[in-house]
Amino acid sequence: TGKELKIPARKAPTFKAGAALKSAVN
């Protein structure tokens, strides 16, 4: 979770999209 907090605001949308895709696959 520490890495999540360090992600720049610019990459936040990409991270959220990746998380959504991950949960969709699971």
Cβ partners under 8 Å of residue 7, min gap 6? 15
Mean pLDDT over all residues of the chain? Answer: 71
Domain spans of the chain, in order of start: 1-26
The DSSP code for 9 is G
Mean pLDDT computed over 13-21: 78
Per-residue pLDDT band at 25 (split at 50, 70, 90): confident
pLDDT tens per residue, range 4-16? 666 666 666 777 7
Q: How many helices (H) and strands (E) does the chain have?
A: 2, 0
| pLDDT reading at 19 higher than 60 | yes
